[in-house]
Amino acid sequence: QQQVKQSPQSLIVQKGGISIINCAYENTAFDYFPWYQQFPGKGPALLIAIRPDVSEKKEGRFTISFNKSAKQFSLHIMDSQPGDSATYFCAARSAAGGGNKLTFGTGTQLKVEL
C-alpha cells in the first residue's frame, strides 16, 4: 500500500532528447509527489513537485505529468544534457496516516550521452 514503483531502472538518452521516468502508487491518500535528483556521493535535491489537484507542472526543462485516476506520475526532462546524468527518485507523501513521511521509488539512473 505504501510502495511507489518506479521505472525504468536505468535510462540512456542522447543529448537533446527527452528523458521520461514513470512512477505508480497504490495509496490514494498520497497528496504530495516530489521528484529528487541525486549525484554520486551527494544527498538528493528537490527538482519539482506536484499535488494531485493539477495534471501537469512545468519548471524549466522539467515537467511532471500526473494522472490521478491511473495513480501514475512521470517526470519529463526536455532537451536532456550530459549534466542531467544522475539518479532520479520519485516520492510520495500522505499528510494523513502516513505520518507525513516520504515514500521513495527505487530510483532511475539516467545517462545522457553526447
Partner 1 sequence: GAVVSQHPSWVICKSGTSVKIECRSLDFQATTMFWYRQFPKQSLMLMATSNEGSKATYEQGVEKDKFLINHASLTLSTLTVTSAHPEDSSFYICSARDQTGRQYFGPGTRLTVT
Which 61-90 residues touch partner 1, going by CB under 8 A? 89
- Number of residues binding to partner 1, judged by CB under 8 A: 20
Give the integer Cα–Cα distance in Å for 18 and 30.
27
Among positions 27, 32, 71, 98, the unique one binding partner 1 when judged by CB under 8 A: 32
Q: Could you tell me which residues come within 8 angstroms of residue 4 by beta carbon, excluding any fewer than 6 positions away?
A: 23, 24, 25, 90, 91, 92, 103, 104, 105
110 three-class SS: strand
Residue 46 or 54: which CB sits closer to partner 1?
Answer: 46
Q: Are 13 and 67 contacting, i.e. CB atoms less than 8 angstroms apart?
A: no
108 interacts with partner 1 by CB under 8 A: no
101 interacts with partner 1 by CB under 8 A: yes
Residue 53 or 69: which CB sits closer to partner 1?
Answer: 53
Given the rule CB under 8 A, which of 32-40, 52-60, 62-70, 74-82 is the region that contacts partner 1? 32-40
Q: Which residues sit at the interface with partner 1, rule CB under 8 A?
A: 32, 34, 36, 41-46, 49, 89, 99-102, 104-107, 109
